[in-house]
Structure 1
């Protein structure tokens, strides 16, 4: 079942603000399922809570929910939005320190007015939960999948649609900080722990004859201004245990860039920070993704970036490069074993609608005193893994 395209104007007469009324009305009828809430709360109370104290940071994490305006019992659909509702209900009840969504909140394959409705509803659900939240932009969140398949590659999202519907609300919270009103780097502090968020879909919005120069779904990268902002944030980070989060993995286990542009430079910057170095970060590119900046990490005390956490790949994996843990979390979206795009990792889980395997999510507990980061998974996720920080 798909939702019909019925649009209305909200907040502004700009075309980019059209949101499907029918989608909004349907989403507001979604309720958390008691058996799912009880299950996730049980994971928290039995496994996570014994590790929680005033000095630790506990984060609820979802990634790649791929919400889509279709009712599906075996693949992407409105179930992705229900996973957000259920995880946030638990986060609200148990009182985590931070709610995080690591991107691809939606699949980006619906008509633009429907996709805007999905983004709007998701943000409202995060706002309604007591803990502060941060939603990272994923490569599907600019609706380019729809542009590719149904809209003859013209841009269905305007330049500021995602920012006005999502990013704006990340930074309206007093607990979430950034250097200036346009910076793509955010951070959250609690005690000796700093969580830094980067945007791996930092792609310029450039139109040529109505089409985008870059396909946001296929191209991932980090530009010079974001690297400069990240440098400034790190230079001002003194005596902190730092965990960085983004949507896509920045480097491979061999140390090569896993982004189309500058993933290796992010890694080099983090390593330079850990080594208290002063130097220059530069690539051989010019134009949109050229980089040439300087850094000085000599006055950051005992600060160290120990971990980079992301989603995007629709499987779980962890590896260490230059003493930094790189952790990939599984997608929260339902991926039935008979679908062609379902990864082997998710086929092994044999994920099924209305069963625990339908969902996938995590609690992350960071303990600066024990120098330990623990990940507690539920649903189609590894139940426990621990890392030194």
Structure 2
């Protein structure tokens, strides 16, 4: 069932710029379902909490919720919004350090005013939760899927829409660090643990006659400034267990770049950091994605990058390249088995609305005492897997 939206400009104060009053009213009626909130709490109490200690960093992680303004019972829709509401509500009463979303909050296929409204409503939920949060940008979050499908001649999202609706609120929190106001690399620390967040949708917003030079949905990359910031952060990372998160996978199992631009260069930074190397990193490109930088990781003590964790692929997988685990998490959005773009992984789960399989989420526990990164899944997710740090 599709929801029809009004376009009259009579609005509530918080969502006034972005969303119609009917949509606003409907979203605000979405409440956490007690069954799902209790289920998430029970997973944590039974499986995760026995592994939590004072030195651990414990994260609640969702990814690829693909929110759409559709009351779908078998595919992308408002179920993605509800999952965030339910996970955040459950974590309010749990010893979780951060709520993390790895990107693709929205599907990006709705009218721009609707997509902006969904982003703002969701970020209000994160802001109102009891835990600090970080939300990464996914390739769907600039609404380019709508532009593709409607063949419109102008970009439906303005240059700073996503930043103002999402990223700005990430950095309003004192727990979230970055090098400068323009930096797209962030990090958090707890004791001997450092978590770094990369933006794999680091694509320049360039208009050619009103349309975008780059389609954010189809193009994924990391530019030189972000690589320089990553190097600067790592050069000052002394005696830390480092885990990196992004939206999209950086490299394939064979070691080739899985991004359109520079995923392999980021992997080289990781391995150079672990090897305590110094040197120069460059590619053969010029212009928007050219890279030519220097690095020196000789004074980082025993610091090591052990794991890179992402979503994007809508299945689970992990593989090791040059000593670094690359871990892909399943999408939190509902993917019913009868939809053509549903991955085989999700078809096997036979995900159904109002059943546990509707959800897919994770608790990630980084434990320096056990030297382990432990992932506890719920819903359509593997229940437990662990990796060395």
Tell me if both proteins adopt one fold, taking TM over 0.5 as the criterion. Answer: yes
CA–CA distance in structure 2, aligned partners of residues 383 and 179 of structure 1: 36
The root-mean-square deviation of aligned C-alpha atoms, in Å, is 1.4
Q: Which residue of 2 aligns with 1:340?
A: 340
Instruction: Tell me, in whole angstroms, the C-alpha distance in 2 between the residues paired with 1:228 and 1:388.
Output: 27
CA displacement at 1:126 relative to structure 2:
0.6
CA distance in 2: counterparts of 1:30 and 1:11, whole angstroms:
16
Deviation of 1:369 (Å) = 1.4
TM-score by length of 2: 0.97
SS for the counterpart of 1:273 is: helix
Q: How does 1:40-119 map to 2 (within 5 A)?
A: 40-119=40-119
Residues in 2 aligned to 1:10 and 1:153: alpha-carbon distance in whole angstroms: 28
SS at match of 1:93: coil
Write the distance in 2 (CA, Å) between the matches of 1:146 and 1:5. Answer: 19
1:9, CA displacement in angstroms?
Answer: 8.7
TM-score, normalised via structure 1 length = 0.97
Q: After the TM superposition, which residues 208-223 of structure 1 pair with which residues of structure 2 at under 5 Å, given as runs?
A: 208-223=208-223
- Give 3-state SS (helix, strand or coil) of 1:227's partner: helix
Matched-pair contact (CA < 8 Å) for 1:66–1:76: yes
| Deviations 1:187-243, CA, capped at 9 Å, x for gaps | 011110011000000000000111000000000000000000000011111110000
Q: Is the 8 A contact 1:7 1:19 kept in 2?
A: no
Superposed displacement of residue 244, structure 1: 0.2
Q: Identify unmatched segments of 5+ residues in structure 2.
A: none
Kindly state the Cα deviation for residue 18 of structure 1 after the two structures are TM-superposed. 3.4
Could you list the per-position Cα deviations for residues 81-111 of structure 1 after superposition, in whole angstroms to 9, with x for gaps in the alignment?
Answer: 0000000011111130011000000000000
Point out the more displaced range, 269-278 or 146-155: 146-155
* TM-aligned CA deviation for residue 11 of structure 1: 11
Conservation of the 8 A alpha-carbon contact between 2:336 and 2:351: yes
Q: Secondary structure of the equivalent of 1:94?
A: coil
Q: For 1:181-192, what aligned pairs fall within 5 Å after superposition?
A: 181-192=181-192
Alignment of 1:351-370 (within 5 A): 351-370=351-370
- Mapped contact 2:10–2:20 kept (Cα < 8 A): no
Correspondence list, 1:1-389, <5 A: 1-6=2-7, 8=9, 17-389=17-389
**Distance in 1 (alpha carbons) for counterparts of 2:278 and 2:366:** 29
SS at match of 2:126: helix
**Distance 1:10-1:31 versus aligned 2 partners, 3 A rule:** closer
Shift in CA distance, 10/201, structure 1 to aligned 2, threshold 3 Å:
farther
Residues 250 and 258 of structure 2 are in contact (CA less than 8 Å); yes or no, is this contact kept in structure 1?
A: yes
Unaligned runs of 5+ in 1: none
Distance in 2 separating the partners of 1:178 and 1:23: 35
Which SS does the other structure have where 1:19 is aligned?
coil
Point out the more displaced range, 89-98 or 42-51.
89-98
Contact kept, 8 Å, 1:30 with 1:82, in 2: the verdict is yes
Question: How far apart, CA to CA, are the structure 2 residues paired with 1:154 and 1:276?
Answer: 47
CA contact (8 A) 1:198 1:245 kept: yes
Local SS of the residue matching 1:353: coil
The 3-state SS of whatever aligns with 1:113 is: helix
Secondary structure of the 1:86 match is helix
